[in-house]
Amino acid sequence: GAVVSQHPSWVICKSGTSVKIECRSLDFQATTMFWYRQFPKQSLMLMATSNEGSKATYEQGVEKDKFLINHASLTLSTLTVTSAHPEDSSFYICSARDHTGPANEKLFFGSGTQLSVL
Amino acid sequence: GEDVEQSLFLSVREGDSSVINCTYTDSSSTYLYWYKQEPGAGLQLLTYIFSNMDMKQDQRLTVLLNKKDKHLSLRIADTQTGDSAIYFCAEGENRDDKIIFGKGTRLHILP
């Protein structure tokens, strides 16, 4: 079946550095990808909708300059956490929709990235 | 705003049925979903139901929807140790692919 690959699985970085997370659709083209953030025992919070070839749409309260999203191709979206700080530590998950099939069965999630900022 | 609520924890004996409940607030929800998340993994779609349906059954899974009360439930028959995971209730309108998730219910299986 369709797979969404997310890398890295986990990353530890120093405060002030930037971290890039990749989300790839391996066997389908995704014009739209989504980035979520999940705190322990909390729900997945939608951060932004990544649109291929155009600017991402951010949810209210999400800093665009902090969380840079690039969707340069139909199979790759990246999320860059700029100047990361400890409060950015979280589990980040991407998802992508395969538009070639029934809409409600074709949303696939990556395995997530655990970011720890020291 | 849109909100999805579910209890955080459920403990069930192996072989019994598990029932996970969820309430939502958005009356324009078109689809309601149940996702499963195993430790360190992404989300896996278990099942979904259209808002104009009352029930959907898929093998050991039964979804019940009370649209009037905005209440959704997931019943897992004959619960197995492999069912141990976090189950997320979610709703969406499908217009823009956005899905709003609950906080997830951690299902713990007792021997």
User: How does pLDDT run across B13-49, given as a tens digit for each residue?
Assistant: 999 999 999 999 887 778 899 999 988 777 888 988 8
Check residue B100 and give its pLDDT.
85
Higher pLDDT, B73 or B101: B73
Encoded amino acid at A94, one letter: C
Q: How many CB pairs under 8 A join A and B?
A: 55
Check residue B30 and give its pLDDT.
81
Q: What percent of chain A has pLDDT over 70?
A: 92
Q: How far is B8 from chain A (nearest CA, A)?
A: 8
Interchain contact A41–B (C-beta under 8 A): yes
Interface residue of B22, B95, B101 to substitute, partner A, most A CBs within 10 Å: B101
Q: How far is B91 from chain A (nearest CA, A)?
A: 11
SS3 letters for A34-79?
A: EEEEECCCCCEEEEEEEECCCCCEECCCCCCCCEEEEEEECCEEEE
pLDDT of A101 higher than 70? no
Among partner residues B31, B94, B104, which is closest to A43 by beta-carbon distance? B104
Q: Do B99 and A97 touch (CB under 8 A)?
A: no
Answer for the pair B88, B74: CB distance below 8 angstroms, yes or no: no
pLDDT of A115 higher than 80? yes
Question: What does the alpha-carbon distance between residue A43 and residue B102 come to, in Å, rounded to a whole number?
Answer: 5
pLDDT of A15 higher than 60? yes
Check residue A117 and give its pLDDT.
95
Mean pLDDT of B70-93: 93
Check residue A108 and give its pLDDT.
85
- Mean pLDDT estimate for chain A: 89
Interchain contact B8–A (C-beta under 8 A): yes
Interchain contact B13–A (C-beta under 8 A): no
Mean pLDDT of A39-68: 89
Q: How far is A18 from chain B (nearest CA, A)?
A: 23
User: How does pLDDT run across B53-67, given as a tens digit for each residue?
Assistant: 899 999 999 999 999
Check residue B40 and give its pLDDT.
72
CB contact set of A25 (below 8 Å; sequence gap of 6+): A2, A3, A4, A5, A33, A74, A75, A76, A96, A98, A108
Check residue A102 and give its pLDDT.
60
Mean pLDDT of B93-99: 66
Answer for the pair B110, B80: CB distance below 8 angstroms, yes or no: no
Answer for the pair A56, A48: CB distance below 8 angstroms, yes or no: yes
